[in-house]
Structure 1
Amino acid sequence: MFITKRIAAATALVAGAALALAGCAGGAAPDAKPVYDADEKVTLTFTWWGNDDRASRYEALIEAFNEEYPNITIEGSFTDFPSYWEKRQTEAAGNGLPDVWQFSDSYLRQYGESGLLLDLGTYKHFVDTSTFDEALLGTGQLDGKQFSLPTGYSAWAVFQNDDLLSQVGVEPYEGGTSYEDHDEWMASVTEASAGSVYGGTDYTQRIQNLELLLRQDGGNLFTDDGALGFDEDQLRDFWESGAQVRDGVGIPQSRLEEITPTSGLGAKLTASEMSWSNFLGGYLAETGDSALSMVAPPTSDDDAKDLYRQAGLQVAVSANTEHPEAAAIFLDFLVNSPESGEIFGTTLGFPASSSKLDGAKLEGADKQVADYLESVADRIGDAPPVPVKGYGSIEQTFWDLGKSIGLGAISVDDAVTQFFDEAEVILAG
Structure 2
Amino acid sequence: MFTTKRAITAVAVATGAALALAGCAGGETAPAETVDPNEEVTLDLAFWGNDVRAELYNEVIAAFNEEYPNITVNSTFLGFPEFWEKRQTEAAGGNLPDVMQFDYSYLRQYSENGLLLDLGPYLGSIIKTDALPENILDIGVVGDVTTAIPTSTNAWGLYTNPVLLEQAGVEEFAGGTWEEYTTWMGEVTEAAGGEFFGGGDYTGRIQNLELQLRAEGGELFNEEGEPGFDEARLTEFWESGQAIRDGIGVPQQRVEEVAPLGAFDTALTASELTWDNFGSGYLGNLGEGYTELGLVAPPITEEGAKDLYLKPSMLHAIAANTEHPEAAATLVDFLINSPQSGEIFGTNRGIPASETALEAAELDPLSQQIADYEKSIADRLGDAPPVPIVGYGTLEEKFRQLGTELNFGTITVDEAVSQFFAEMDVVLNQ
TM-score interval for Structure 1 and Structure 2 normalised by the shorter chain: 0.7 to 0.9
- Structure 1 residue 212, shift from structure 2 partner: 1.4
Indicate conservation of the 8 Å contact 1:339/1:356, yes or no: yes
| CA–CA separation in structure 2 for the residues paired with 1:77 and 1:366 | 25
Q: Secondary structure at the match of 1:270?
A: coil
| CA–CA separation in structure 1 for the residues paired with 2:62 and 2:398 | 42
Distance 1:395 1:325, change over 3 A: farther
Indicate conservation of the 8 Å contact 1:107/1:391, yes or no: no
Indicate conservation of the 8 Å contact 2:63/2:340, yes or no: no
| CA–CA separation in structure 2 for the residues paired with 1:161 and 1:347 | 23
Q: Deviations over 1:270-312 (max 9, x none)?
A: 2111112233333333334321111111123333332223346
Quote the residue 2:57 is aligned against: 62
- Structure 1 residue 204, shift from structure 2 partner: 1.0
The aligned amino acid for 1:426 is V
The aligned amino acid for 1:166 is E
Q: Secondary structure at the match of 1:358?
A: helix
Q: In the TM superposition, what are the counterparts of 1:238-257 in structure 2 within 5 Å?
A: 238-257=237-256
Distance 1:165 1:347, change over 3 A: farther
The aligned amino acid for 2:251 is P
Q: Secondary structure at the match of 1:151?
A: strand
| CA–CA separation in structure 2 for the residues paired with 1:84 and 1:251 | 35
Distance 1:79 1:366, change over 3 A: same
1:160 aligns with 2:160: yes
Q: Deviations over 1:352-387 (max 9, x none)?
A: 222212212456223212322233223233433444
Distance 1:377 1:133, change over 3 A: closer
- The worse-fitting range, judged by mean Cα deviation, of 265-274 and 69-78 is 69-78
Quote the residue 2:299 is aligned against: 298
The aligned amino acid for 1:338 is P
Q: Deviations over 1:332-353 (max 9, x none)?
A: 3432232333355556554322
Q: Secondary structure at the match of 2:218?
A: coil
Quote the residue 2:79 is aligned against: 78
Quote the residue 2:380 is aligned against: 379
The aligned amino acid for 2:309 is Y
| CA–CA separation in structure 2 for the residues paired with 1:285 and 1:332 | 32
Quote the residue 2:3 is aligned against: none
Quote the residue 2:221 is aligned against: 222
Q: In the TM superposition, what are the counterparts of 1:346-425 in structure 2 within 5 Å?
A: 348-362=349-363, 364-425=365-426
Distance 1:367 1:407, change over 3 A: same
| CA–CA separation in structure 1 for the residues paired with 2:95 and 2:282 | 32
Distance 1:215 1:144, change over 3 A: closer
| CA–CA separation in structure 2 for the residues paired with 1:268 and 1:385 | 35
- Structure 1 residue 326, shift from structure 2 partner: 7.0
1:315 aligns with 2:316: yes
Distance 1:199 1:225, change over 3 A: same
Indicate conservation of the 8 Å contact 2:43/2:328, yes or no: no
Q: Deviations over 1:160-203 (max 9, x none)?
A: 110122133322222x2122221122222233323332222221
Measured on the aligned residues, the alpha-carbon RMSD in Å equals 3.5
The aligned amino acid for 2:151 is T
- Structure 1 residue 217, shift from structure 2 partner: 2.0
Indicate conservation of the 8 Å contact 2:178/2:299, yes or no: yes
- Structure 1 residue 237, shift from structure 2 partner: 1.3
Quote the residue 1:3 is aligned against: none
| CA–CA separation in structure 2 for the residues paired with 1:219 and 1:77 | 37
Q: Secondary structure at the match of 1:394?
A: helix
Distance 1:343 1:291, change over 3 A: farther
Indicate conservation of the 8 Å contact 1:159/1:292, yes or no: yes
Unaligned runs of 5+ in 2: 1-28, 66-71
Quote the residue 1:20 is aligned against: none
| CA–CA separation in structure 2 for the residues paired with 1:295 and 1:41 | 46
Quote the residue 2:9 is aligned against: none
| CA–CA separation in structure 1 for the residues paired with 2:325 and 2:31 | 16
Indicate conservation of the 8 Å contact 1:57/1:344, yes or no: no
1:134 aligns with 2:129: no
Q: In the TM superposition, what are the counterparts of 1:165-180 in structure 2 within 5 Å?
A: 165-174=165-174, 176-180=175-179
Q: Secondary structure at the match of 2:273?
A: strand
Q: Secondary structure at the match of 1:304?
A: coil
| CA–CA separation in structure 2 for the residues paired with 1:132 and 1:42 | 24
| CA–CA separation in structure 2 for the residues paired with 1:339 and 1:217 | 42
Distance 1:402 1:47, change over 3 A: same
Q: Deviations over 1:361-415 (max 9, x none)?
A: 4562232123222332232334334443433333333223223333444332222
Quote the residue 1:25 is aligned against: none
Q: Secondary structure at the match of 2:189?
A: helix
1:111 aligns with 2:110: yes
| CA–CA separation in structure 2 for the residues paired with 1:408 and 1:331 | 49
- Structure 1 residue 42, shift from structure 2 partner: 6.4
| CA–CA separation in structure 2 for the residues paired with 1:215 and 1:170 | 30
Unaligned runs of 5+ in 1: 1-28, 49-54
- Structure 1 residue 315, shift from structure 2 partner: 2.7
Indicate conservation of the 8 Å contact 1:186/1:200, yes or no: yes
Q: Deviations over 1:5-27 (max 9, x none)?
A: xxxxxxxxxxxxxxxxxxxxxxx
| CA–CA separation in structure 2 for the residues paired with 1:253 and 1:145 | 43
